[in-house]
């Protein structure tokens, strides 16, 4: 009984939550999944298995995408609250977050290492460091 509570419950949570997260994170199907695995293999230089890479991606992006205070089923919450099976070093983590911070828009540009500068420029162009706009400052308020 104790084994089931510790291990079996986690296995059930992983099985059920991955289905839910796959539908949410990969609306395009297996094509998106393959691109993510390819880009993660370039980040880690192919030293981890696909299963470990997908576990890491699903947990990190799942926590970013799903707000745990909204109604989320028990299995997804249990799966996302467990630690990842994969431990990336600092540089791999930084590259992961640079790559997948704006996941759906940027993923097509990340496959090759030489396009990394283009991705950074894209992210800088689409995220503003200024919290106000010049037009808003020029308006006169009564």
Burial 59-80 (b: 16+ CB within 10 A, else e): bbbbeeebeeeeebeebbebbb
Over residues 26-48, the mean pLDDT reads 87
Both tokens assigned to 17: 């939550």
- Among the residue ranges 6-10, 58-62, 118-122, the one predicted with the least confidence is 118-122
Asked if 51 and 114 touch (Cβ cutoff 8 Å), the reply is no
User: pTM, whole model, 2 decimals?
Assistant: 0.67
By C-alpha distance, which of 128, 140, 107, 137 is closest to 36?
107
- What are the sequence ranges of the domains in the chain? 7-126
Question: Higher-confidence residue: 15 or 24?
Answer: 15
Measure the CA–CA gap between 69 and 80, rounded to whole angstroms.
13
pLDDT digits (tens, 9 = 90+) for 3-15: 677 788 888 899 9
Both tokens assigned to 92: 């791999």
Asked if 86 and 56 touch (Cβ cutoff 8 Å), the reply is yes
CA distances from 138 to 98, 130, 134 (A): 35, 15, 6
Beta strands (DSSP E) in the chain are none
pLDDT digits (tens, 9 = 90+) for 74-83: 889 899 999 9
Measure the CA–CA gap between 126 and 32, rounded to whole angstroms.
22
Over residues 101-121, the mean pLDDT reads 51
Asked if 37 and 54 touch (Cβ cutoff 8 Å), the reply is yes
pLDDT digits (tens, 9 = 90+) for 83-96: 999 999 999 888 88
Question: Which pLDDT score, from 0 to 100, does residue 84 have?
Answer: 92
């Amino acid at each position: 009984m104790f084994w089931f509570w510790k291990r079996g419950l986690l296995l059930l949570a992983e099985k059920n939550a991955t289905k839910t997260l796959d539908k949410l994170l990969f609306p395009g199907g297996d094509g998106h999944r393959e691109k993510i695995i390819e880009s993660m293999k370039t980040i880690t230089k192919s030293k981890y298995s696909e299963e470990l890479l997908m576990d890491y991606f699903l947990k990190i992006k799942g926590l970013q995408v799903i707000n745990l205070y909204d109604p989320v089923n028990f299995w997804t919450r249990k799966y996302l609250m467990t630690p990842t099976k994969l431990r990336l070093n600092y540089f791999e983590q930084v590259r992961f977050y640079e790559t997948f911070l704006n996941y759906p828009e940027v993923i097509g540009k990340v496959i090759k290492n030489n396009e990394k500068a283009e991705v950074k420029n894209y992210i800088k162009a689409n995220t503003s460091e200024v919290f106000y706009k010049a037009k808003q400052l020029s308006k006169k308020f009564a």
